[in-house]
Amino acid sequence: MSTCIQGLGLAVPKHFINQAEAAHYALASCVASDKQRQLATRLYLRSGVESRHSVLLNSSTNGETAAQSYYEPSTETQPFGPTTAERMQTYRSEAEKLAIEAAGKALLASGVEPAAITHVVTVSCSGFDAPGVDVSLITELGLKQQVARTHVGFMGCHGAMNGLRVAKAYANADPNVQVLLVAVELCSLHYQYEWTNERMVSNSLFADGAAAVVVSNAEQSKSLWSIGESLAEIVPESRDAMTWRIGDHGFEMTLSPAVPQLIKQELRPRLEAWLSQGDLSLDQIAGWAVHPGGPRILQACSEALSLPDSALAASFDVLRRFGNMSSPTVLFVLHELEQQITGPTVALGFGPGLAIEGCLLYR
C-alpha cells in the first residue's frame, strides 16, 4: 500500500519586512558591541534573505518603512526584551491563525471534506500551548471531535519530515485514514537582544509561516506526491553543533560554524547508503527539496552532493522570499517543485542532534 500527499497549503503573516529595515530594527533594540553593530547590516544583507514575514509587524515594507512595536530598544529595566511567558502568550493568539489558513488551503486543494479527516498531526518547535493548535484546527475547520491528534514538538527545522513519517504510518495502517498534517512556526518570537555571532545569524534568518498537507492512501485519491522511505540519522559527536533551548527571554538557538563542514563530510555517504536500499543513486534523483537553513547550509549540500546550481534553485528562492521559517519551510520548497519535477525527489532537513532527516517522494 502506498501513501500520497493529496493537497498542499501555505500561509504567511500579512506583513513583511526587507532585510535593510530588519537590520535597522536590530541595531535599535540589541545589546551589542560597536564591532557587532558595524557588522550587522553587512551580515543581514549577506543572509540570502530579501524579505521575511512576521506576526509582530504592524505594516510592511511597501513604499514606506515596515513598523513594529513588539521589540522595544533595550533598557536597564528590560535589557533583553519580552519574557518567554509574554512571547508564548503571543504564540497562543497567533499560531492558530496561520495553521488554520494553511490547513484550509490544503483541504481545498485535496478535495477532501473536513469531516473526512481522521487524524491530525501538528508540528511546531517555536511555541507551547494546550489546548493548542490541534484543537483549534478541529473546532475552526469543522473536523470531527473524534479526530486522533499527534503533536511533533521541539524537533527543529526538520520537523515536517518527522510529521510526514507519522502521517504515512497512519495512512499505511488503514486505507480509510485521511491525515491532516500542519507545521506552523513563529520564529520571530525568539529574537535575541544579547548578540553573539551565532545569535546574529539566527536573528537575520528566521521568520514566520505555516504549511499543511493532506496525506492518505494513494489508491483512493489523486496524488501530488507519493511518499516513499524516510531517512533518520544522528551525526556522532555533534551534539553541540546545533541546539534549541528555552531561555528566560525566548528560545535560544546555537549554530556552530562547523555545521556546513559537518554536512560536507557526512551527508553524501549517508544519502548514498539510504538511496541504495531502494536501488537508487544520487544521479537518479530528479529533484531536491532541501530546507534552506541559510546560504552556507545550502552551499554545503550542493558541494557534498556535487549538484549543479539549478538543483537547489527552489530552496534559494524560498530563502530569499520568506527566510527560514523552520519546520514548514521544506514544504514551501516542495510547493515550488510541484510543476518543475517528474521523478524521484529528496526532501531534506537538518536539526539539533546534529540530525539529518529526509523523505523520498515521487511524481
The set of catalytic residues is 157
Please report, in angstroms and rounded to a whole number, the separation of the first and last CA atoms in the chain: 16
Under 8 Å between Cβ of 323 and 206: yes
Under 8 Å between Cβ of 305 and 275: no
Q: Which three cell numbers stand for residue 201?
A: 545569524
| CA pair distance 90, 95, nearest whole angstrom | 8
| CA pair distance 279, 265, nearest whole angstrom | 23
Instruction: For 291, list phi and psi in degrees, rounded to 5.
Output: -60, 125
| CA pair distance 211, 161, nearest whole angstrom | 12
- Cβ count near 312 (within 10 Å): 21
Under 8 Å between Cβ of 120 and 180: yes
* Dihedral of the alpha carbons of 315, 320, 324, 330, in degrees to the nearest 10: -20
